[in-house]
């Protein structure tokens, strides 16, 4: 059966040193989103895989929706992605990390983790691992904005954020973590930073608490993406209708 509705390309950074595993993981996510959007054409591409985005654009047809599986609305979303689109008409949505419903989704995961371990939030620390950037403040600002919203939902004893590429560095923050703590990676996928930098820092710190999956891999994320795409399509339809009314008037 051919898709009769809109088309979307879910885009992520990928892994430049080994592009295919990240391509496969993103395709699996796109498949789960497609299951929730049966009339849509749902495709995926990482920026790291040579020609992947261009091929997806060729399959997508006119003016697809682009969903950035990124945690911040920074350089990759604002500059690198539009450049790679090469002037093609497309609706670029806000990235995953900027989704208004994301703090609630993550709070539910954390509350389940606390309940499973029999821990109370007031006696537990949350350790957030994020990328950061030595060139732009946007990554840190986005992480802190997310963490602030998370604090409003769960009253942990303390919430500490550490970064891979700027201070406070995650390796230092992990060293100071108490035994009753949960580590939350503010990342969209299992890339090198999560598999290597974060994992190695936790091992060096002898971190004994739960190390959660990256946020972008949570089971509830495909539904969140599907909801966001539904809203974007409704908005685009309303804008086209308003434009048609103006032209006819």
Task: State the distance between the two ends of the chain, measured CA to CA, in whole angstroms.
Answer: 39
Residue 14: exposure state from Cβ atoms within 10 A (0-12, 13-18, ≥19):
buried
Q: What is the CA radius of gyration of the chain?
A: 19
Residues 225 and 203 both lie in one domain: no
* Residue 23 within any structural domain of the chain: yes
Rounded CA gap, 158 and 156, in Å?
Answer: 5
pLDDT at residue number 3? 56
Residues 171 and 234 both lie in one domain: no
- Run of H or E residues at 56: helix 52-60
* Residue 109 within any structural domain of the chain: yes
Residues 131 and 185 both lie in one domain: yes
Domain that holds residue 197: 102-217
pLDDT at residue number 80? 85
* Residue 1 within any structural domain of the chain: no
CATH number, domain containing residue 125: 3.40.50.1400
pLDDT at residue number 248? 59
Q: The pTM is what?
A: 0.91
Residues 109 and 203 both lie in one domain: yes
Q: Which phi-psi region, left, alpha or beta, contains residue 171 (left: φ > 0; alpha: ψ -120 to 50)?
A: alpha
Mean pLDDT by 10 residues, the chain (249 residues): 78 91 96 96 96 95 94 85 89 95 97 98 97 84 95 97 94 95 95 90 96 97 97 80 57
How many separate domains does the chain show?
A: 2
pLDDT at residue number 1? 44
Residues 131 and 111 both lie in one domain: yes
């Amino acid at each position: 059966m051919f898709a009769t509705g809109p088309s979307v390309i879910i885009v992520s950074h990928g892994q430049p040193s080994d592009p295919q595993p990240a391509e496969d993981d993103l395709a699996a996510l796109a498949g789960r989103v497609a299951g929730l959007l049966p009339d849509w054409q749902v495709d995926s591409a990482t920026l790291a895989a040579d020609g992947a985005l261009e091929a997806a654009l060729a399959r997508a047809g006119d003016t697809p929706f682009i969903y950035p599986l990124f945690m911040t609305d920074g350089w990759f979303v604002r500059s690198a992605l539009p450049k790679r689109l090469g002037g093609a008409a497309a609706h670029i949505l806000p990235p995953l990390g900027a989704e208004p419903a994301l703090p609630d989704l993550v709070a539910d995961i954390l509350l389940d983790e606390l309940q499973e371990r029999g821990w109370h939030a007031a006696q537990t620390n949350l350790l957030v691992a994020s990328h950061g950037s030595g060139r732009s403040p946007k990554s840190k600002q986005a992480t802190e904005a997310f963490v602030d919203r998370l604090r409003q939902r769960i009253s942990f004893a303390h919430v500490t954020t550490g970064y891979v590429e700027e201070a406070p560095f995650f390796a230092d923050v992990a060293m100071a973590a108490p035994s009753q703590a949960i580590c939350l990676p503010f990342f969209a996928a299992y890339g090198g930073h999560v598999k290597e930098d974060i994992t190695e820092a936790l091992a060096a710190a002898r971190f004994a608490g739960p190390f959660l999956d990256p946020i972008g891999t949570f089971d509830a994320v495909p539904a969140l993406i599907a909801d966001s795409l539904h809203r974007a399509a409704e908005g685009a339809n309303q804008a086209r209708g308003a434009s048609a009314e103006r032209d006819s008037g």
